[in-house]
A and B are shown apart, each in its own frame.
Chain A
Amino acid sequence: MTRVHDLGHARAGDKGNTSNISVTAYDAAAWDRLRRDLTAERVAEIFATIGAGPVTRYELPRLHALNFVIQNALGGGVSRSLSIDPHGKSLSALMLTIELPEETL
């Protein structure tokens, strides 16, 4: 099983009710894999468990990084949120737990 955590690192930021989470690959091979398999659809599927979405993905090939913009991820925004983590700081860790499909030869 390969998780995003095996391939790259992540940071989450908040703006209103939207979380953005960057994923940066550790190396070129990891970048190819993340770019191919960590799709907006895959991320949306996982973040649906906290009621979040839709998800937009931006690519930064020079930096080997993806930037996911996830709407409705923060319980209405920092001040209204009932969540114990209203900024969604911990959501970077949820991104890193995502499992990717095994590579086929």
Chain B
Amino acid sequence: MTRPFRIGAGAGFADDRIEPAVEIAEAGAADVLVFECLAERTVAREVLARREDPTKGFNPHLRDRMRAVLPACARGGIRIVSNMGGANPVAAARATVEEAAAHGLTDLRCAAVTGDEVTDLVRARPDLTLTESGDPVEAILPDLVSANAYLGVEAVLMGLETGADVVLTGRVADPSLFLAPAMHHYGWAADDLPRIAAGTLMGHLMECGNQLTGGCFADPTRPEKQVPDMANIGFPIAEIGPDGALTVTKLPGTGGRVDRMTATEQLLYEMHDPAAYITPDCVLDVTGVDLHGDGDDRVRVTGAAAGPRPDSLRVLCAYAEGYIGEGQVGYAGVGAVERAELAAKVVQDRLKRRGFTYDEMRVDLIGCTSLHGDGAGPSDPYEVRLRIAARTQSRAAAQAVGFEVRAMHVNGPTGGGGGSNPVVRDVMAVQSVFLPRELVTPEVTVLGGRG
């Protein structure tokens, strides 16, 4: 029997740890490594970076990751797929080829997949409806930074079919990044729904890296939720057979755990209706899924089903929406909460007297109410940290928030210390529209290689 195709997770978010992917590559434990590194707002941030400098606009850790992993991948013949291309896959491919060359890998070829950026298409259709607010997209067009379609598996397949060692994309649905290499390897058709279901479920389980292998899981107060050797958690590896038979595991000798409990948490992660998880490739139904813990950090996954892919693609529209200003200061000892509350009142009063207005303002007592509101937990801690944050259309008003909070050192109640430097950040809001998929056309550019 030939061994199943093996797909390793190299990263599950933009700032993920670097070493676990290197360990998988050095052990030759995967045929492909997939790095998922693109959160909802990241592309818009990268669009702004690209405007400043046309050689930028891709994941800032790309060079570090490539430098770490490329030599072992080249030795083992391991291909790489990633959405680290961000808003500039071609520049990302150029950087990758440069890093490879610097390590003597002058043959490396890198495919850049573009076509997800559909800002002009959206601008030309002001009557499209924003899913979240119900308004026409026209309402946000003046502040629109970028609109990017979630491409499906066909875009990644185009990159793989070039034979490139590395395929870099911009916005692609996370599960599609993992499904594509399996489809490419086995020659599965896009309408072969049982296999597409298995591959999409595989991608969904893998896309957040170690959230399948014991990350985001440990609870020291419960015996069932201990995670061995957490500092050395291994990233997951999926083994998928020609018929879609799926087992998830991790590199032997690494920390963490893969079992029914970790797999169940990740199966339902960011899922709404479990009978209808919509991707560009299918509508996945996990209500018939069984997870078979076979021991030894292996889980066999059965029962995925899927309906046909949707006719339209979801497009994320990112737009500038003013500023958030923030400041913090700490209080401790007798009456800490009362003094923090008094400080909050004084800050709010001063901001009002200065004539600033805010779309929304939030007062948190960190240690009391900041995470779960007023309804939960004890409310009389020994120490508390006052945090005030507010959103506004005016940068000056946003700056004033942190300024007035820090002034509590000298101009507030007794014993206020540890004031933070004022923070101001741009707000990048996102909403979705849907576009008929035939309007969106992926393209591939291959860089590197000899000649």
Contact = CB atoms under 8 A, between A and B. Distances in A.
A17 B290 CA distance: 30
Interface residues on B, range: 35 or more
B269 A11 contact: yes
A65 B275 CA distance: 14
Nearest to A10: B265
B389 interface: yes
A16 B364 CA distance: 22
A82 B150 CA distance: 27
Contacts of A62: 287-290, 303
A83 interface: yes
A26 B377 CA distance: 25
B290 A82 contact: no
Chain A, interface SS category? mixed
B271 A82 contact: no
A82 B390 contact: yes
Nearest to B303: A62
Contacts of B267: 63
B132 interface: yes
B360 A24 contact: no
A90 interface: yes
B370 A84 contact: yes
A25 to B, nearest CB: 10
A79 B428 contact: yes
Interface string B280-297: 000000111111000000
A5 B303 CA distance: 29
A36 B48 CA distance: 50
B376 A26 contact: no
Given A62-B289, A84-B370, A14 B376 contact: no
A97 B221 CA distance: 13
A78 to B, nearest CB: 7
B371 A85 contact: yes
B129 to A, nearest CB: 15
Contact of A20 (B271, B387, B389): B271
B219 A20 contact: no
Interface of A: 5, 9-11, 13-18, 20, 22, 24, 26, 46, 48-51, 56, 58, 60, 62-63, 65, 67, 69, 75-80, 82-85, 89-91, 93-94, 97
6 contacts: A5-B221, A11-B266, A16-B430, A79-B429, A80-B321, A97-B372
